[in-house]
């Protein structure tokens, strides 16, 4: 895990120094995907592209939020045929999943109305049109990273954005999931 994160940071630093266009670099995209996959494994999950979707699941969205490699938040929304959902929120407070532990793990069945609120945010922010690696990849080597992955019918999509600004669609989706996780946590 540390090695993959370090490799990603080195590639990013070199691209800044030499003026490379990292968002178009397929190797960087592959490395980011590997980083995301390793983070999911730390949560005991697999990426949507590698998961067999349950028969009654019509959509699934996952958001992983990382703060300077020391904390990871995982959010998942699974949508059933009947419109209800299952929302999961987990937090891991370590850069090393082998030595750290999951400090929060909340799974909650949610109503059609609650599911629709999250789906509306995803739709309003045109999730499936967000670039895989956002063109706004600039300055610094630490900060916040958002990964998101979604499945809806036959479409799957993966997004990675470093240091997202609140005005960007991926940030709005992350904020909706984080705010909803706070609401769920208050219930338990």
Q: Where are the domains of the chain?
A: 2-187
Q: What six digits make up the tokens of 63?
A: 């958001």
> What is the arithmetic mean of pLDDT over 17-39?
68
As a whole number, the mean pLDDT across the chain is 81
Confidence at 23, pLDDT banded by 50, 70, 90: very low
Give the pTM.
0.80
Q: What is the pLDDT of residues 42-68, one digit of tens each?
A: 888 888 877 766 677 899 999 999 887
Kindly give, in sequence order, each residue whose CB lies less than 8 Å from that of residue 93, ignoring residues fewer than 6 positions away: 70, 71, 100, 101, 103
> What is the arithmetic mean of pLDDT over 71-92?
94
């Amino acid at each position: 895990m540390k090695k993959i994160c370090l490799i990603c940071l080195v590639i990013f630093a070199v691209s800044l120094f030499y003026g490379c266009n990292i968002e178009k670099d397929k190797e960087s995209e592959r490395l980011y995907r590997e980083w995301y996959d390793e983070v999911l494994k730390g949560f005991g999950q697999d990426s949507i592209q590698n998961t067999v979707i349950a028969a009654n699941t019509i959509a699934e969205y996952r958001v992983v939020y990382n703060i300077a490699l020391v904390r990871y938040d995982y959010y998942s929304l699974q949508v059933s045929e009947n419109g209800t959902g299952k929302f999961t929120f987990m937090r891991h407070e370590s850069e090393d999943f082998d030595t750290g532990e999951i400090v929060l793990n909340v799974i909650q069945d949610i109503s059609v109305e609650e599911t629709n609120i999250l789906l509306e945010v995803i739709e309003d922010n045109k999730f499936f049109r967000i670039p895989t690696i956002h063109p706004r990849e600039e300055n610094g080597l630490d900060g916040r990273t958002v990964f998101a992955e979604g499945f809806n019918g036959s479409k799957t999509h993966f997004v990675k954005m470093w240091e997202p600004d609140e005005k960007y669609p991926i940030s709005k989706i992350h904020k909706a999931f984080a705010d909803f996780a706070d609401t769920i946590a208050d219930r338990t």
